Amino acid sequence: MPPLRRRLRSRGFAAGTVVAALAFSLLSVPGLRTQGRAPEPQDPAQQKRLEWFHQAKYGLFIHWGLYAIPAGEWQGRRIPGIGEWIMNRARIPVREYGQLAGQFNPVKFDAGEWVKLAQDAGMKYIVITSKHHDGFALYQSKVSTYDVVDATPFGRDILKELAEACAKAKMPLGFYYSQAQDWHDPNGAGNDWDFGPDDRKDFDKYLRGKAEPQVRELLTGYGPVALLWFDTPRMMNVGDRARRFTDIVRKLQPDTLIDGRLGVAGDYVTTGDNVIPPDVQNTAWEVPATINHTWGYKSYDHDWKSPGTIIFKLVDIVSKGGNYLLNVGPRADGIIPEPSQYVLRSAGAWLKVNGEAVYGAGPTPFGDELGEPSSKGAKDLRGQPLMLARTEWRVTTKPGKLYVTFFAEPRAPFELPAMTNTVKRAYRLADGAPVDFKVQDGKTVLNVERPIYDPMATVVVVEIDGPAVIRGTR
């Protein structure tokens, strides 16, 4: 390993993009800390809980609520920022925003269709907003009538229908729950335009009277909950506030995973939104990410990521040991925007053929392919070496196998980084066609066909002796 790279590694911070490096390093900024707090060393029960998560690798995030009705516009004005924050950004009074409930009637909602989309996309779990910061619940709650059954003409319990469809398809289902911010509750965090500053509120009254009972409802009324996805842990670091939620979860459903944004360590680390770390991380982690630039639906955000970009990000994340939780924002009529469906299904078609390189796969044993520090010694905004990402290829692993995924035609001949293992066989994953290879100066050289087989991403499987790569020259 080059000396600079080794130095960076020893700081737990190696090659990658400057943006990713900077953004991931924000996780250590006070205030954002809890977003990425590493769990304690894993106990056996936690390891067991995480087994399905490590297999799954790719999940569907769904942000849906009343904000899908204004879809980014209020009183004829486009409101900047992410769609589900419109109440906050436009300072909409609770009384006015609450009237949206009377218009919420997503007659085209079909839980089975959503689950089918996730399956076609090759996604292995679903996480949906049960209550976002606006305080509105997508299920029937007994502790508040501000929910889809009690306050809308639709009157159907969306989570119940989704839970049933997921159970039928054996699709793990998790619930996002905004534990701290609740702009509808006078004592919830975040709404200072109706209720004044947070430090004058009786926050524990809100936690005990709404958030904790609602989390209990989620864990008792909807079958097995794969994970609880808490978010924005404002004011959660006081006393036992966060711990009270952990206790509820562990008591009611000990197998439910807790994400990294509760306010105490969960079962895995949640990175910042859309932040992919620059290198392999030695803990369970997940990137929540948008397919365009918003989580909740915005009628005028059409900047969808391409299927190729999604596949690159997925393989990049898996090669660093993480999971990809990719979001869609359904419209107010219940339909997931067609362009997102197209992107997800196209990426899913690739996964159908190449999924073996992704599901249950481990991280790269190399790291050379991820990037390198600027040769000019440039520094980023935090004074760290500027990292330049490489995007030509990635490696994922299973015992005895390397999956080398090419996103661009590789240099010919293509050299794998040095390892002492013997290569037994190399072939294309998509069709099993053999790939010629030879060993030259202790390095395996692959002769990858030109033009490249699948220009989106071509996987070559390299079978080695022994379960894992041993770096070094023969």
Residues forming the site for ligand FHN (CB under 6 A):
82, 84-85, 231-232, 273, 288, 295
State the nearest-atom distance from the C-beta of 178 to ligand FHN, in Å: 8
Q: Given the structure tokens 């044993």, which residue do they identify?
A: 365
The structure tokens listed for 350 are: 């690739």
Task: Give the whole-angstrom CA distance, residue 129 versus residue 120.
Answer: 21
Task: Give the whole-angstrom CA distance, residue 300 versus residue 72.
Answer: 8
Is the omega angle on the peptide bond into residue 373 within 30 degrees of 0, that is, cis? no
Angle at CA 48, nearest 5°, toward 44 and 54? 125
Closest-approach residue to ligand FHN (CB): 288
Nearer to ligand FHN, 226 or 429 (CB): 226
Nearer to ligand FHN, 201 or 234 (CB): 234
State the nearest-atom distance from the C-beta of 190 to ligand FHN, in Å: 9
**Which helix (H) or strand (E) covers residue 204, if one does?**
helix 203-206
Packing angle of the helix pair 307-319, 338-354 (nearest 10 deg): 50
Nearer to ligand FHN, 174 or 288 (CB): 288
Angle at CA 58, nearest 5°, toward 52 and 64? 110
Q: For residues 87 and 96, is the Cβ–Cβ distance under 8 A? A: no
State the nearest-atom distance from the C-beta of 356 to ligand FHN, in Å: 29
Nearer to ligand FHN, 65 or 385 (CB): 65
Task: Give the whole-angstrom CA distance, residue 470 versus residue 417.
Answer: 11
Strands 58-62 and 73-74: unpaired
Nearer to ligand FHN, 232 or 299 (CB): 232
CA distances from 225 to 55, 94, 215, 217 (A): 17, 30, 11, 11
Nearer to ligand FHN, 56 or 326 (CB): 326
Nearer to ligand FHN, 63 or 394 (CB): 63
Is the omega angle on the peptide bond into residue 233 within 30 degrees of 0, that is, cis? no
State the nearest-atom distance from the C-beta of 295 to ligand FHN, in Å: 5
State the nearest-atom distance from the C-beta of 288 to ligand FHN, in Å: 4
Burial of 441 from C-beta contacts in 10 A (0-12 / 13-18 / 19+): exposed
State the nearest-atom distance from the C-beta of 369 to ligand FHN, in Å: 28
State the nearest-atom distance from the C-beta of 102 to ligand FHN, in Å: 23
Looking at residue 197, its amino acid is P
Nearer to ligand FHN, 100 or 419 (CB): 100
State the nearest-atom distance from the C-beta of 236 to ligand FHN, in Å: 14
